[in-house]
Amino acid sequence: MDLSETSKIFSGRVLIVALDGWTDAGSAASGAAIYIKDKLNSERLLSIDDSEYFDYLRQRPIIVLDEHGDRDFLWPSIELWAPSTKSPVTKDLELYFLIGQEPAMQWPYLRDELKEIVEDREITSVIMLGSLASEAPHNRPIKIHKNSQTASVRNAFGIERSNYDGRAGFMSVLGDALEKAGLPTISIWGQVPHYVASMPSPKAALALVNDLEIMLGFEVDHKELLTAAFEWERSVDDFVEGDEDLQGYITSLEKARDESEAEELNTDQLALEFEKYLRQNETDSDTPES
């Protein structure tokens, strides 16, 4: 990955999109975006909670009580958050966040509304965060996968275009519209063990936070998320302790992961040896004969 090139592409006003729903296993993507947003003291610009976009039978409002015991309702919504004027990320980076629930209806209309909002804010590039249920062991590092439909992004990161062919989420619809509007876009996915994908996964959220920090060149305090990730892994250990079949399955996942990483390491080592061989032969061929 060419860090100089990526810093050029993903600088200025960068939008991070993470929506709770089909593309958010373990709430890892939305959890990562919310964690960074809170740590940066981002300021809410607007909230879209139109009933034409949400199905209240599937996405029910939540009752909340204030300090006086009076009740209120939190309705499904999508919110745009802007950088805080009090705590900017870096002088060359302004992070915006689009966070909320995946809409249930009228996707083309909401897509166009959000596209107009992004253009009005003069966003320069877009990061789509997602998490997927995967055959991955919970006690190994979370793997991150990137893909992009933007040629300049693929060249800078050394990644591929997505070859997925099937049902789409709203983030794919929105990302496609923004990319076709000329905004460089990248999708970053974290793997969540499928046997615990229905519960929040702070370990996967932490992996996404770390990846974003490296990619964009900023840092936030990890203490709370680290603690939550540690407690999550211990709780999963306790959950599987009394299930011999599940333990055996997880052992097979661990073995497959370790063998895969060993094979990747050997492949990388062979590549390094081959490059060394080519450089040595090139040097030898330049040496005059005695």
The model's pLDDT over 159-189, given as tens digits with 9 standing for 90+, comes to 999 888 888 999 999 999 999 999 999 999 9
Strand spans (E) along 140-263: 144-147, 185-193
Q: Which two tokens stand for residue 27?
A: 């709430």
Tell how many helices (H) and how many strands (E) occur in the chain.
Answer: 8, 9
> Quick check: 95 pLDDT over 80?
yes
pTM comes to: 0.86
Same domain, 31 and 100: yes
Same domain, 134 and 257: no
> Quick check: 284 pLDDT over 80?
no
Strand spans (E) along 102-223: 125-134, 144-147, 185-193
Domains in the chain: how many in total? 2
In a domain, 121, yes or no: yes
Domain range holding 282? 242-290
How big is the CA angle at 168 (ends 163 and 173), to the nearest 5 degrees? 95
Supply the pLDDT for residue 123: 96
In a domain, 237, yes or no: no
Same domain, 170 and 214: yes
In a domain, 236, yes or no: no
Same domain, 193 and 267: no
What does the pLDDT average to over 147-155?
A: 94
Chain centroid to CA 232: 19
Same domain, 157 and 198: yes
Place of tokens 């060993």: 262
What does the pLDDT average to over 48-55?
A: 93
Same domain, 278 and 210: no
Same domain, 284 and 194: no
Same domain, 122 and 22: yes
Same domain, 143 and 257: no
pLDDT confidence tier of residue 264, bands split at 50, 70 and 90:
low
Supply the pLDDT for residue 63: 94
CB atoms within 10 A of CB 266: 10
Supply the pLDDT for residue 81: 97
In a domain, 230, yes or no: no
Chain centroid to CA 44: 21
Q: pLDDT by residue (tens digit) across 225-261?
A: 999 999 999 999 999 988 899 999 999 999 988 887 7
Quick one: which of 84, 83, 110, 106 has its CA closest to 15?
83
Quick one: which of 45, 66, 188 has its CA closest to 129?
188
Supply the pLDDT for residue 290: 37
In a domain, 229, yes or no: no
Strand spans (E) along 49-184: 62-65, 71-74, 78-82, 93-101, 125-134, 144-147
Supply the pLDDT for residue 96: 97
- Cα separation, 211 vs 32, in Å, equals 10
